[in-house]
Amino acid sequence: MSGSTIVLKTEEEISYIRKSSLLVGKTLAEVARNLKPGISTDRLDAIAETFIRDHGALPSFKGYHGYKHTLCISVNEEIVHGIPGARIIAEGDVVSIDCGVYMNGFHGDSAYTFPIGLVDVATIMLLQVTKTALYKGIAKAKSGNRIGDISAAVQEYSESHGYGVVRELVGHGVGRNLHERPEVPNYGKKGSGPVLRPGMTLAIEPMINLGSRQIRQLKDGWTVITQDRKPSAHFEHTIAVTESEPEILSSFDEIELAITENEYIKESISILN
């Protein structure tokens, strides 16, 4: 995390974070249009980088602590920080794609998990619960509440469905730096942690496992997987704390429109509809 203090943003600065965050959503939508069995993860990464640069922005992740790619693409038991490469996406995979964009001096950050082809119902339910947990957390991101209120909402909803809540990886502040204070865990106690104040901008990102919460990191130094090798899901929005309701600065709208147009993804999503 960059710095030791929480940086409050002006309305103008929040507008820049919103622009970056919305471009993340558009980028993930472009990737979603191309998601299908047989495509490699490095091809998806190239599509995202080209799209971001064509829109006058830079990939936030590329070069970050030596990371060499635009996206983190995590498949099945991979929770986060999966490295794009020669891996081929297959029927039945669940693919979490995390993306950051840097534009006008500010970052945006968002993630979405996609089912490819026919995915078992238990895993689809994990995706639905993880996404709902994200919005449960966002609803608590109100001025006067505390970080722990967000954390507890995510944890309680996820664990009520029997899932494992990852503890070693957290959400974070976002702004001029990709990772700022405060940390936003997905577990915790109501009424604990820093007080939420207008001008705080946060990336809230539940990482929820179908099985145990236990994790391990692969030898590549980046990829984090579930210890029991069961699937994991990850959804993320960048939000702003305001004087009233929290404002979601990123968007899933274009991503979900792309899903309806992609026969390989909408097939599994339709199971829950």
| Per-residue confidence (pLDDT) for residue 273, from 0 to 100 | 53
Any domain includes 29 = yes
Q: In this structure, what are the phi and psi dihedrals at residue 240, rounded to the nearest 5 degrees? A: -120, 135
pLDDT at 1: 65
| Predicted local confidence at residue 102, as pLDDT | 98
**Per-residue confidence (pLDDT) for residue 44, from 0 to 100:** 98
- Output the tens digit of pLDDT for each of the chain's 273 residues: 666 799 999 999 999 999 999 999 999 999 999 999 999 999 999 999 999 999 999 999 999 999 999 999 999 999 999 999 999 999 999 999 999 999 999 999 999 999 999 899 999 999 999 999 999 999 999 999 999 999 999 999 999 999 999 999 999 999 999 999 999 999 999 999 999 999 999 999 999 999 999 999 999 999 999 999 999 999 999 999 999 999 999 999 999 999 999 998 887 776 655
Q: Of all helices (H) and strands (E), which one includes residue 87?
A: none
E strands, the chain, are 58-59, 71-75, 78-80, 94-103, 106-115, 164-165, 171-173, 180-184, 201-204, 207-209, 215-217, 224-226, 232-234, 237-240, 247-248
How many distinct helices (H) and strands (E) make up the chain?
Answer: 6, 15
Model pLDDT, residue 268: 75
Domain presence at residue 59: yes
In a domain, 5, yes or no: no
> By three-state DSSP, how is residue 238 classified?
strand
Tell me which residue of 160, 155, 191, 190 sits closest to 171, measured CA to CA.
155
Structure confidence at residue 46 (pLDDT): 98
Domain membership flag for residue 6: no
Tally of structural domains, the chain: 1
**What is the model's pLDDT at position 4?**
74
Short-list 74, 252, 226, CA closest to 165 = 226
Angstrom distances, CA of residue 86 to CA of 66, 74, 149 = 20, 13, 41
Sequence-ordered list of residues with C-beta below 8 angstroms from that of 240, at least 6 positions apart, any chain: 9, 14, 17, 18, 199, 200, 201, 202, 246, 247, 249
For residue 3, is it within any domain? no
CA–centroid distance for 67 within its chain = 17
Whether 167 maps to a domain, the answer reads: yes
Task: Return the pLDDT at 27.
Answer: 98
CATH code, domain with 165: 3.90.230.10
Report yes or no on 1 lying in a domain: no
What percent of the chain has a predicted confidence (pLDDT) above 90?
95
The H-assigned helical ranges of 61-220 are 121-139, 147-159
Contact 246, 252 (CB under 8 A): no
Does a structural domain hold residue 103? yes
| Domain region containing 140 | 11-272
